[in-house]
Amino acid sequence: MKINERWLTFVLTDSNNSFEEMLAKIELAFKCKLSCKDEKGRYIARAELDNFSIAVIDKIDRLSELLCDEHYTLKITIISDKYFNSKFENYIKEILTNNFIQWKQSIWSPVEVTPLSKR
């Protein structure tokens, strides 16, 4: 049995904010509490919501300046094809826009995950 996991990723362009300020805006927008930890030199804050999960990825990489990004990233993960559509994408865009979170690009990334027992 394969589980379809899909990511809707946004490039957040509000670079004037610190990572902590960006997290505060995302928490307010999505009405959630993000849990932040260092993952291989980059801060990633995560929260599980009712029908999807979110991750905010810092643009700064503490291992190497060469690995840094220009912008923060918001990654929405869904595991149900029910949300793999433009209506859900527009719902997320509306949340961002209504909370003055600037973004410039969004992209879907379908991924098939094979359970460990089948590998």
* pLDDT score at 61: 84
C-alpha to C-alpha distance for 119 and 28, rounded to whole angstroms: 40
pTM score, two decimals? Answer: 0.84
The pLDDT tens digits of the residues spanning 97-119 come to 999 999 998 988 875 555 656 65
Contact in structure between 19 and 58 (CB atoms under 8 Å): yes
Flag the least confident range among 22-26, 58-62, 63-67, 112-116: 112-116
Percent of the chain's residues with pLDDT above 70: 89
C-alpha to C-alpha distance for 72 and 58, rounded to whole angstroms: 5
Q: How far apart are the first and last CA of the chain?
A: 11
Quick one: 23 exposed, middle or buried, by C-beta within 10 A (0-12, 13-18, 19+)? Answer: buried
Mean of pLDDT values over 33-49: 94
Parse the chain into domains and list their residue ranges.
11-111
Contact in structure between 57 and 72 (CB atoms under 8 Å): yes
Mean of pLDDT values over 80-102: 92
pLDDT of 68 over the 90 cut: no
